[in-house]
Amino acid sequence: MSNVAIGVDVGGTKALALIVARDGRVLSEVKSATPHDLNESAGAATASVLTEQVRELCARHGLDPSAVPIGIGLPGLMRRDGRLAFAPNLQSVSGADVGALLSESLGSSLVHCENDANCAALAEHEWGAARGIDDFVMVTLGTGIGGGVFVDGRLVRGRSGFAGEIGHMVVQARGAACSCGGYGCWERYASGGGLGRLTREAAEAGRLPTLVERRGDVDAVRAEDVTTAAAEGLDEAVVLMKEMGWWLALGLANLAAILDAGHFVIGGGLSIASDLVLPSARGYLVDLVEGYDARPTITVTSSMFGPRSGAMGAALVAFERGP
């Protein structure tokens, strides 16, 4: 039984690889840009980046890449057999069996794939913000929104392994176009990508005059400008973060209505901005959740591991399914 595992979280913009000990300690990390080459055969460029990451981590720690359990978290519809059926935010990998490609390049039979947000939920449940909590929803805010749903202490997988695609709940009928082909999906309003979209709209509508002046052009204002300025207390940026908080709360209210979830753990790449969004989301929930006062308290907390929880959970999957 291995004392360490490698967990890799492949996001829309970067891939984070960690060596993790059984008690959840992170021993080493490597970060790379996620390739988006649609000309390569599905997943080939991504698999070669991951192979390099695994080799580098193993070299640092004197490990044999073929003998270490490896878990990979990928966004989208992950089938139970490990093939990624559909990945709107990572189209170069859609349809690929990244685990098989990595197994081949490393000569390893210890590679396991799982949905990235499921990985984050498993890590937070084992070591982090949801320890000891049987009913919760992990919400990862990155390029899109990922979800990992725990009911009665177990991860809900659904018929095909596709459960928890909460980012594609429709929160605005005939709303903003989504990379999945639909319209009005939650992740177009409350993710990192969603904040980028809200920012563009607000800048064009003249609601971010200070930031437009600072950048010198309406099109140059980015989501990061808004989060930075909101942290400094600039009113127009604070208002936009509150707007995102309302959209976040709307999705959480829908999940509360369906699942009776009492706890939401908010993580992912945008969790760094959660101090700016979560207080307003908690406030809006009071009005948006059906029978709020009749329910036990609903908590909305930041994940303990932030952008790392996906990769940590991928390592946990590797421990559980590895040798």
Residues 98-137 that bind Zn ion (CB under 5 A): none
Q: Which of 136, 189 has the CB closer to Zn ion?
A: 189
Whole-angstrom Cα distance, residue 91 to residue 83?
Answer: 14
Size of the residue set binding Zn ion (CB under 5 A):
5
β strands within the chain, DSSP E? 4-10, 14-21, 26-33, 70-74, 77-78, 84-86, 111-115, 136-141, 145-151, 154-155, 263-267, 299-302
Distance of CA 232 to the CA centre of its chain: 26
Local structure of residue 35 (DSSP, 8 states): P
Cβ–Cβ < 8 Å for 50, 10: yes
- In sequence order, which ranges of 62-205 are alpha helices (DSSP H)? 98-106, 116-127, 187-190, 192-204
CB of 88 to Zn ion, least distance (A): 6
x-marked contacts with Zn ion along 152-181 as a string, rule CB under 5 A: ----------------x---------x-x-
Minimal distance, residue 195 CB to Zn ion, in Å? 16
Instruction: Using the minimum distance from each CB to Zn ion, give the nearer residue, 107 or 181.
Output: 181
Q: Is 311 near Zn ion (CB under 5 A)?
A: no
Closer CB to Zn ion, 65 or 194, in the complex: 194
CB of 158 to Zn ion, least distance (A): 17
Q: Max alpha carbon distance in the chain (Å)?
A: 59
Residue whose pair of structure tokens reads 């930041």 in the numeric block = 302
Least spacing, CB of residue 271 vs Zn ion, in Å:
21
Choose between 183 and 292: whose C-beta lies nearer to Zn ion: 183
Dihedral (CA of 25, 118, 302, 31) sign: positive
Task: Spell out the SS3 assignment of 94-106.
Answer: CCCCHHHHHHHHH
Q: Shortest approach of Zn ion to residue 182 CB, angstroms? A: 4
Query: Least distance to Zn ion from the beta carbon of 215, Å?
Result: 29
Site for Zn ion in 41-100 (CB under 5 A): none
Of residues 145, 149, 152, 125, the one with CA closest to residue 137: 149
Contact track, Zn ion, 178-207, x by CB under 5 A: x-x-x--x----------------------
Closest contact distance (angstroms) between CB of 180 and Zn ion is 3
Kindly list the residues in this chain that would bind Zn ion in the complex (CB under 5 A): 168, 178, 180, 182, 185
